[in-house]
A = this chain, B = another copy of it.
Amino acid sequence: MSRKGSRTTVSSKPDIRTVAALAKVSIATVSRTINSSPAVSDKLAQRVWQAIEQLNYFPNTHARSLVSGRSRIFGIIVENMTNPFFPELISSFEEIAVANGYEILVSSTNINSASQLTGCVRRMLERKVEGVAVLTFGSEESVLDQLAVHNMPIVLCEFHVDDPKISTILLDYSAGIHAAVAHLVKLGHSRIGFLAGPHTLHSAITRLEAFQQTMVESNLEVHKNWIIECDHTLKGGVAGFGKLMNLESRPTALICSNDMTAIGVLRAVYMAGLRVPEDLSVIGLDDIDFAEFTLPPLTTIRLSRVELARAAFDALLFQAENSANPAAPSAIQREFLVSTTLVVRGSTAPPAEEKNLQG
């Protein structure tokens, strides 16, 4: 037993045998105690816990995983960390996972790069994750194929896959977009444009379609020129607004496929010498933390990260428990719904009476 400075060092790492010896029980009893098996008497359990505490013992998860076949790790794949939506989502997912005794393995590599994708899948497989949340919002075909081959439980957004191991989270964009359009109409807008996400992204298409349908239902005209494909980035928003400025006839309000695009628009409007919301009303989608602090504060359609993370985790946990327990045979929940709500802030106002964008 050595001592170093003021800090006492643990002599050597205790294992389950050390604990068993100190508690004067078998290692099986220690294992049962750790795993809260009801088959341990209070008396022994207490002795074991005391020994564990005294030795500062932590079970080795690698050994546990190896023998039990359960790693207690979920993978989570996102495309792009530069959009704060994803860190926020991961953070929520992590919190829920940890609260449930799970660890997460994050992969944020570019899904469209074949080599990176293979590496990402490989990491998941090697670490023996029990399931993967593919939160790339619709650019996941390739990763899906690779994972599905290995019979991996998966949860993804937007669309259904006919595989009992794959669950789906449906995002109710319509509700939020409907509220957004209604909000604009109430303010007096009828000339409403939409800055869409990349058409290669399922979710971007779904959002656009929800907008179009809402417009039709609201008896509002959808100008083709006012629907512009952007790429869900700040720069994309700037570029999208640029295209709009080149038009002769322009909308008085703009709904953006995500907040990053909307924030880019905010900036581009400012650089153009115009003002939000006086000259143009802008609505985002996501409600990232920053949205509250833009100039002006962004009116946006909230897509709850917590709800989404919860749904993803539940889906995966159901699958994992199901796989682990042969008793529970089939009918597990494989579809989850996440709602959206409008959050009104300062980037929307009635349209200018006299002048509009062509001031």
Q: Tell me the A residues contacting B by CB distance below 8 Å.
A: 5, 7-10, 56, 58-63, 65-66, 71, 81-82, 84, 86-88, 91, 94, 98, 103-106, 108-109, 119, 122-123, 125-128, 145, 148-151, 162-163, 234, 263-264, 266-267, 270, 289-290, 292-295
Report yes or no: B58 in contact with A7, Cβ–Cβ below 8 A: no
| Contacts A62-B65, A91-B108, A105-B103; A149 near B56 (Cβ below 8 A) | yes
Task: Check A62/B58 contact, CB under 8 A, given A106-B106, A108-B94, A151-B9.
Answer: no
B82/A289 in contact, CB under 8 A? yes
Alpha-carbon distance between A66 and B294 when the two chains are bound, in angstroms: 49
Inter-chain contacts of A290 with B (CB < 8 A): 234, 290
Residues in chain B near residue A87, CB distance under 8 A: 81, 84, 86-87
Query: Nearest B residue to A293 by beta-carbon distance?
Result: B234
Known: A62-B65, A150-B10, A264-B293. A98 touches B119 (CB 8 A): yes
| Chain B neighbourhood of A8, CB < 8 A | 149
* Contact assessment for A270 and B293 in the assembled complex, using a CB-CB cutoff below 8 Å: no
Q: Which among B65, B103, B263, B295 is the interface contact of A267 at CB below 8 angstroms?
A: B295
